[in-house]
Amino acid sequence: MSSLDTYQDPLNSRYSSTEMKYLFSPRNRYSTWRLLWIWLAEAGKELGLDIPDDAIVQMKQNQVIQDEEFKVAAEEEKKRRHDVMAHVHAFGLKAPSAAGIIHWGATSCFCTDNADLIFLRDGLDLLLPKLATVIKKLSTFAKDNKSLPCLGYTHLQPAQLTTVGKRACLWIQDLMTDLKNLERARDDLRFRGVKGTTGTQASFLQIFNGDHQKVEQLDEIVTAKAGFSSAYIISAQTYPRKVDADVLNALSSFGATCEHIGQSIRLLASFKELEEPFESTQIGSSAMAYKRNPMRSERLCSLGRKLRNLSADASATYAAQWMERTLDDSAIRRMYIPQAFLSADASLILLNNIASGMVVYPAVIRKRVEAELPFMATENIIMALVKKGISRQGAHEELRVLSHEAGAQVKQYGRDNDLIERIKRTEFFKPILGELDELMRAESFIGRCPQQVDMFYDREVTKALAKYDEAGSLKVSEAAELHV
């Protein structure tokens, strides 16, 4: 049976990057288990345990699991019903000098949980620069459009003007919150380390003949080899499943941001104010040849929705753990941890691609602004009349009547907004007719939008991105490859 005859997870077959798919691959998982066994043996030997040099040499030579070994491990697992012991067996066949000391003193979670913590860390390390790149690209877009007036919307009804760049800063600000959340989750990660079956380190205390210092050193050495600055002092058989919940909460919050941004772009595309990139040979609809559907943003919403719901699985699994550990966490974690990272990765590929080529249509934006601006200008007109000594309440009543008349023309008959023409024909407004053009200038309605965009970028964005800029990890000159 070929891969085409079995179900393929679309996160793996369609959407995610090669590096993220490899991180959660069987080869990397089981090769990481072997690396942990090597580190345990090296640390034990360093602390005086009788482990032959040849054992460590053979283990290192066979650290990366080969294709034929998967079959060996699978056959052993059928007999033993235990995946870790199946891989201990398969590794021992390749490193016979080490067969007696592989997994010495450890419990299954020495491999599985420490490996998962490595995957959480490395997964976040893959996501963070990609998120920083998206923020950088959207910031360029925001600065380029910081002074372009557009309709603001409250309740999805036209409200006071904002600018295209200022609105993009709302997205950037949320993404920066996600960046901070993911950085904090990454920095909070600690290693499970070498703790034994229920976290007491009793087996290692026996191996080292009651020497507490050597047990502590063993834990510290393996933790350092794994690249962690510290390990949990207190653990059960597993590292706290609250860690998974914490990481997935941060990822799921990012998923909500993705859906929020995607929906905004889809709405703006329906107004024809803004479009995501659209390739010259791209087909929008199999039937309607004219369609330019926002498929990237729609997919972003779809993946973001999946991602933001995965945190419920992690928190439920944490809550359901009994005492030192129960195995009902196993099957579900095999799904939701990779799915969360692959979904986040796929979402970032889409965000990167969208941010690399968003198209703005100023003429359409201007037309939509002009259709609503007469209503929005009424406050400016009232203020100008008051300066001429005319009653504010009187001006308000005159404008109220004319606004409703003009609104009826728009809503009932589909005509253009003629409020300004009505004002020009009304004697009451004669004192300010010479100022109408200035009072109607769209740029006078955007307040401090351009200044806010500049201040936000200079004071907050550049600070948040500084370490990624210094590390050269911001890929702002290229668009992410968009997968099928």
Q: What is the pLDDT along the chain (484 residues), one digit of tens a residue?
A: 677 788 888 888 888 999 999 999 999 999 999 999 999 999 999 999 999 999 999 999 999 999 999 899 999 888 888 889 999 999 999 999 999 989 988 899 999 999 999 999 999 999 999 999 999 999 999 999 999 999 999 999 888 899 999 999 999 999 999 999 999 999 999 999 999 889 999 999 999 999 999 999 999 999 999 999 999 999 998 999 999 999 999 999 999 999 999 999 999 999 999 999 865 444 454 444 444 788 899 999 999 999 999 999 999 998 999 998 899 889 989 999 999 999 999 999 999 999 999 999 999 999 999 888 888 888 888 888 899 898 999 989 988 898 888 888 888 988 888 888 888 888 898 888 888 888 888 888 899 999 999 999 999 999 999 999 888 777 776 666 665 5
Active site residue 212: no
Within 10 angstroms of residue 57's Cβ, the number of other Cβ atoms is 13
CB 305 within 8 A of CB 340: no
Helix (H) or strand (E) holding 231: none
Q: Is 427 exposed, middle or buried (0-12, 13-18, 19+ CB in 10 A)?
A: exposed
Distance CA 238, CA 235 (A): 6
CA atoms of 346 and 246, how far apart (whole Å): 21
Active site residue 285: yes
d(CA 16, CA 18): 7
Provide the whole-model pTM: 0.89
> What is the model's pLDDT at position 417?
84
Element (H, E) at 274: strand 274-275
Report DSSP state, residue 161: E
Extended strands (E) in 140-267: 149-154, 157-163
Q: Is 359 helix (H, G, I), strand (E, B) or coil?
A: strand
CB 56 within 8 A of CB 38: yes
Res 380: pLDDT: 83
What span, in angstroms and rounded, lies between the C-alpha atoms of 397 and 264? Answer: 36
In this predicted structure, what is the pLDDT of residue 282?
47
Q: Is the separation of the CB atoms in 13 and 96 below 8 Å?
A: no
Which residues, at least 6 apart from 277, have a Cβ–Cβ distance to it below 8 Å? 296, 353, 354, 356, 357, 358, 359, 479
List the chain domain ranges: 16-104, 109-364, 378-439
Q: Distance between CA 190 and CA 284 in Å, rounded?
A: 47
The CATH superfamily assigned to 109-364 is Fumarase/aspartase (Central domain) (1.20.200.10)
CATH H-level, domain 16-104: superfamily: Fumarase/aspartase (N-terminal domain) (1.10.275.10)
Q: Which of 2, 3, 155, 270 is catalytic?
A: 155
378-439: same fold as 16-104? no
Question: How high is the pLDDT of residue 449?
Answer: 95
Q: In Å, how far are 41, 209, 213 from 99, measured between CA atoms?
A: 11, 22, 27
Estimate the share of the chain in helix, then strand, then coil, as percent rounded to the nearest 5.
70, 5, 30
> Could you give the C-alpha distances from 85 to 72, 236, 418, 443, in angstroms and in order?
12, 20, 80, 70
Residue 24 three-state SS? coil
CATH code for the structural domain at 378-439: 1.10.40
Of residues 13, 230, 285, 391, which has the active-site annotation? 285
| Contact criterion met (CB below 8 Å) for 69 and 103 | no
* Residue (of 231, 227, 228, 229) closest to 215 by Cα position: 231
Residue type, 428: F
Tokens 């941890």 locate to 337
Other C-beta atoms closer than 10 Å to the C-beta of 68 total 8
Of 103, 93, 37, nearest in space to 69 by CA: 93
Q: Which residue has the tokens 């769209």?
A: 442
Say if CB 132 and CB 182 are below 8 A apart: no
According to DSSP, the β-strands at 359-360 and 274-275 are: antiparallel
| Per-residue model confidence (pLDDT) at position 47 | 95
* Residue 22, token pair as written in the block: 């490899």
Residue with tokens 């294709």: 67
Containing 145, the helix (H) or strand (E) segment is none
The CA R_g of the chain, rounded to the nearest whole Å, is: 31
Token readout for 158 is 């036209």
Angle at 407 between CA 405 and CA 408, to 5 degrees: 65
Crossing angle of the two packed helices 392-413 and 362-376, in degrees rounded to 10:
130
Per-residue burial over 373-396, b if 16 or more Cβ lie within 10 Å, else e, is bbbbbbebbbebbeeeebeeeebe
Cα 10 to Cα 16: distance, rounded to the nearest angstrom:
9
The token pair at 335 is 């799904």
Q: What is the pLDDT of residue 150?
A: 95
Distance linking the first and last C-alpha atoms of the chain: 24
